[in-house]
Each structure stands twice: as C-alpha cells, then as structure tokens.
Amino acid sequence: MSRVEIFDSTLRDGSQAEGISFSVSDKLKIVKLLDDLKIDYIEAGNPGSNPKDISFFDELKKVKLNTSKLVAFGSTRRHNTKAKDDSNLTAIVNCGVERICIFGKSWDFHVTDIIHTSLDENLEMIRDTIKYLTDQGRKVYFDGEHFFDGYISNKEYALKTLDAAIEGGATKLILCETRGGVLPNLVEKITKDVVNRYPNITIGIHTHNDSGVAVASSLLAYEAGARHIQGTLLGFGERCGNANLVEVICNLKYKLNQDCLEDDVFENLTTIAHQVAELSNVRIPKSAPFIGRSSFAHKGGMHIDGVRKNPISFEHMEPSLIGNTRRLLTSEVAGKALLLEKIEKHYPNFNSKDKRVYALVKELKELEACGYQFEGAEASFDLLIRRHIENEKQYFSLVNYQTIGKEYYDLGIVDTPHTAMIKVNVAGESAITAEEGAGPVNALDKALRKVLEPFYPILKGVYLSDYKVRVLDSLDATASVVRVMIESTDGKKTWNTVGVNHDIIAASWQALSDSIAWYLEDSGIKPAK
C-alpha cells in the first residue's frame, strides 16, 4: 500500500484551542520536535493573520529541518477582489514557504449565508487563488471546508469546488469534516466516492472531534482510500479539538500495518508527545491511549497476575515500542503476587511464605481503607516494605513542630508569610530551628531541610516539585480526612510519597518526612552518628 502522509496542524488549528497561546519560541521548539518525529508536513500558521505569525515565519527562514516540510495556511481571495491584490495572499507568497494549504467553501450554505457571495463566484475564488499561487511557483493543497456537510446538502456543488481546485493546480484535495458532527460510516462512504472520482490525485482527510469520533473517522477515511491525514499531535484544537495524530499513527502502524512515520521514531513518541504538551501548557490525561501514564498500568490482582505471566493477556501492544512503560500498581486489590515482586526487588532471596508478607498485606489493606493510596506513592510503599522486612533506618525523628501564620489585612499584603519551628532528634541529639515560607507546608519543608542538611549535605539538591491535597470524606466538612501527595526530585530522579490525617499539616509532615527518608536510603546514605 502507498505510504500515508501525516500533516500536523498543532501550530495552526491547535493554536485555536481555548487556553492555548504559543510564543514564537514555543513554536520554534515544537517545529523541531515534530521534525524529530519525522512528521511529513508541519502547518506553521497563517502568515497574514497576525504579527506573531509574521515574526514566526521570519524566524523559520533561519531553521533547517531534517525531514519535515513546512506549510503555510490561508483562505481563498475575498470575493470581487483579484488574487494579486489580496493582502493575505501577498503575505503567504512572501513568507518564504514553498507549500501552501488553502481553504475554500465546499458547503453552499456557507457560500450564500456566511461569506455572502454567489456559488459561481466562490468557484472562481477557489480556482483563481490556487492558480495565482501556483503561478508564483508554490505547491498548493486545497482544504474543502465543510466538505462533508456540503456533500450531504448539495453533492454536485461540493464536488465542483474540488474540480475548481484541480483546475487551479492543486495537487492534493483534503476533505474537511469541519463541524465534527458527521459519523464515521458516512465519512467513509463519501471519502470512497471522492477517491473513485479522482483516482490520480491524493485525497486527504481533516476531522474535528465534536462527536468524539475524529480518530475513527480518519481511520475509516484511510480505509476508503485517503492517503493524507491531518490533525494535531495531541488532539487539541478549535472547540473539541482535531483528530489526535498520536492515536491515528499508532493505529495505522500497529493495527492496520500501514506505513506512515519512519520506524525509528516510534520509540520516541511518548517522550516527544509529553514535550509538546509541556510547551503547550497542557496536561496529557493519564488515561490517554498509547502515551498516557496509565495506558499500560495494571491494578486489579487478576490483571497483574495475567500480565506477569504474559503481557498480551491484558495489553494490546508492547508499551516500549512507543516509548511508554508498563506499571503494576500497588493497592488493596493488587494481590499477594505483586507485593512479593516488589519485596523481591529489594530482597531477592526473600521467602514467599514468610509471615511478614501476610502482615504487610494486612497493613496495606488497613492503610488504604483509611485513605492511603500507594499506587501513586511508590516511595512510601518502599518504606512500608522496609519497616516490615527489617528495622527501618532512623535518619531523624520528630519531637515537635509548630506553624504560625499571620494575615496583614490593613497592609494589603497578598503573600502572607508563615513560620515553622521544628525540633527533631538526629544522631542522638536534639536539633531545633525555624524558617519562614509561603504557607505552612513550605515553611515546614524549609525548616526540616535546614536542620538536616548539616548532617546530610546531599539534601541540598532535593526539592518538592508537586504538592496535592485531596479531601477524602467531604461529609465531615472541616473535620474531613485529607490525603497529601508530594512529588520530590533531585533533578535526575523523581519520587512520590503520601500522608493521611485529619490535620493537613500532619499529613504533609508524613509525606515530607517519607520523601527525605526514602531519598537518603535510596542514595545509600547511612544514618548520622
């Protein structure tokens, strides 16, 4: 089968998503990442739409890509205007990009009721615009906007818009399901009709996700003969978004055995997708197919047992193929087998029939019943194992702490400082200190590190990278039990700990002290003497 072309519109259609605002620097970094992924076409934006895009295209002239080809985006000329006099088209010609994607109206309703021109004039607008650009030496692809709605409303006219694009010199015809409301089976049927009508030109598909079927529609359009698929890498875009290209290309590659991206880039897919998410200031859902943190995470005892025996029992593909990892989650439903596996990681010769295993299972269930959650706090669970299997190393122990907060209402101060005073036993002696912070937990964290760093200098490179609080029983209102999850890092590795208590500061202390104790033990540090 012929290779499927992948066309990424993250920087154009994706920028139209609510909450997305790329800087020029962000866009340049994303272009580099998409080029690393060897995406065929990168739609860089509309050089005539705003100053930021103009600046971006100027910067792109300095960028050398290894694989991907840049595409500029724009609309057909305005009605009753010559193409050469249209300022947007002039900006496109001057942007320095060889390939251009032009959209035009394929739905008669949009022609007459939205842009208020005649059906014949719209055809001329499509034809003239594309001819003008091809005469300037550009390769032009035509996006038939609202093509599927237009086909359903007036099939003959919708097809005429494609004819006009070909007459103007377009080399690809992209069928746009712009409203996202046409179901996949009808997308497939209409695409097949178009493919049969134009056997000598590449037919593409561009879908939106308003009905939650953008990926399905794209794949069925492929089955109907489309060999050019547009979307955004992570699926975000106008309204409910576009076809998610991660899902499209993984399904093409691993389900349909279709050549799309180069084989050597798939193992970097998860990493690159998360880097694009970071630059876009969006969070990839844990449950996101293929690249989510939970995509290959197993929690139920039966599932874990099956995956440990043979991963295909509960996994549809090998996660490492796309750079993801398998995770077996620790919880009250995980079963004894997983606990043994985690124990054996630290104690390879441990006897599975040891009574301490049963004590550990019992405590795990009791703690989770109280609100602890170890599936996202592996470091706390490691410490729990060590407490059961051997005497826990005592790096320090709490004597007492106190936090004090003040509100300066009359001064209008927004950042109200808190003070934490802490007393701990270290190396057989009591040590006490105080620190100010932005809130009681920050102050407590700073005070604890201040008193421990003279004994454990390695802690100077450790800091909190995330802090989450969840109320576990809202029926108790302010007396509710809260769960605190802390993520810590030393810049190289990251670990998570948990604390549960009615007192949010006490829960934070549990998670915080576990974080430090785990890091010291994992780093091979011995308790101070």
Structure confidence by residue, pLDDT tens digits, 288-331: 999 998 999 888 778 888 888 899 999 999 999 999 998 877 66
Residue 91 lies in a domain: yes
- Do the domain assignments include residue 160? yes
Residue finishing a domain among 313, 328, 343 = 328
Regarding whether 305 and 227 lie in a shared domain, the answer is: no
Two tokens at 83? 């193409």
Cα separation values, 176 from 182, 221, 229, 240, 311, Å:
11, 11, 10, 15, 39
Asked whether residue 401 is assigned to any structural domain, the reply reads no
Tens digits of residue pLDDT in 43-69: 999 998 778 888 999 999 999 999 999
Do residues 320 and 194 share a domain? Answer: no
- In the block, residue with structure tokens 């795990």: 364
Per-residue pLDDT at 412 = 54
247 and 272 in one domain? no
Q: Are residues 218 and 288 in the same domain?
A: no
Residue 287 sits in the same domain as residue 143: no
What pLDDT is attached to residue 377? Answer: 77
- What does the pLDDT average to over 332-356? 69
| 239-243, 302-306, 417-421, 525-529: which is most confident | 239-243
Nearest by Cα to 360 from 344, 306, 348, 349: 344
What's the confidence (pLDDT) of residue 414?
54
Of 98-102, 139-143, 352-356, 492-496, which range is least confident?
352-356
Give the model's confidence band at 415: pLDDT under 50 very low, under 70 low, under 90 confident, else very high: low
For residues 170 and 59, state if they share a domain. Answer: yes
- Both 112 and 211 in one domain: the answer is yes
Residue 137: CATH number of its domain: 3.20.20.70
Residue 314 lies in a domain: yes
Q: Which long-range contacts (CB under 8 A, 24 or more apart) does 446-451 make?
A: 446/420, 447/401, 447/420, 447/421, 447/422, 448/422, 448/424, 448/512, 448/513, 448/516, 449/516, 451/422, 451/424, 451/426
Residue 432 lies in a domain: no
**pLDDT of the residue at 260:** 95
- Whether residue 115 is predicted with pLDDT greater than 90 in this model: the reply is yes
**Mean pLDDT score of the chain, rounded to an integer?**
90
Residue 2 pLDDT > 60, yes or no?
yes
Contact status, residue 172 vs residue 142, Cβ threshold 8 Å: yes
Per the structure, the count of domains in the chain is 2
Confidence tier at 473 by pLDDT (50, 70, 90)? low
Examine the domain organization and report whether 241 and 282 are in the same domain: no
- Return the CATH number at 324: 4.10.430.20
Give the residue-averaged pLDDT of 115-126.
97
182-235: pLDDT as tens digits: 999 999 999 999 999 999 999 999 999 999 999 999 999 999 999 999 999 999
Instruction: Tell me the percentage of the chain whose pLDDT exceeds 70.
Output: 93
Residue 335: its pLDDT value, please?
A: 59
CB 420 within 8 A of CB 401: yes
Of 132, 128, 125, 141, residue with least CA distance to 78: 125
**What pLDDT is attached to residue 349?**
72
- Predicted local confidence at residue 475, as pLDDT: 54
pLDDT of residue 476: 56
Q: Tell whether 415 is covered by a domain.
A: no
* 250 shares its domain with 267: no
> What's the pLDDT band for 406 if we cut at 50, 70, 90?
low
**pLDDT bucket at 359, cuts 50 / 70 / 90:** confident
Torsion of CA 274, 228, 53, 29, to 10 degrees: 30
Rounded mean pLDDT of 500-525? 91
pLDDT at 408 over 80: no
Quote the CA–CA distance of 71 and 76 in Å, as a whole number. Answer: 16
- 198, 174 Cβ separation under 8 angstroms: no
Q: Position 368: which residue type?
A: E
CA 397 to chain centre: 40
The residue range of the domain holding 244 is 5-256
| Mean pLDDT computed over 359-365 | 78
Of 237, 256, 275, which one is at a domain's C-terminal end?
A: 256
Sorting pLDDT into bands at 50, 70 and 90, what band is 431? Answer: confident
- Check residue 392 and give its pLDDT: 65
Task: Tell me if 360 is assigned to some domain.
Answer: no
Q: Is residue 411 one of the residues assigned to a domain?
A: no
Same domain, residue pair 171 and 235: yes
Average pLDDT over residues 381-400: 82
Instruction: Give the C-alpha separation, 475 to 506, whole Å.
Output: 21
Task: Give me the pLDDT at residue 413, please.
Answer: 52
pLDDT at 502 over 60: yes
Q: Are residues 266 and 244 in the same domain?
A: no
* Model confidence pLDDT, tens digit, residues 264-282: 999 999 999 999 998 998 9
Q: Are residues 188 and 266 in the same domain?
A: no
Residue where a domain stops, chosen among 328, 347, 378: 328
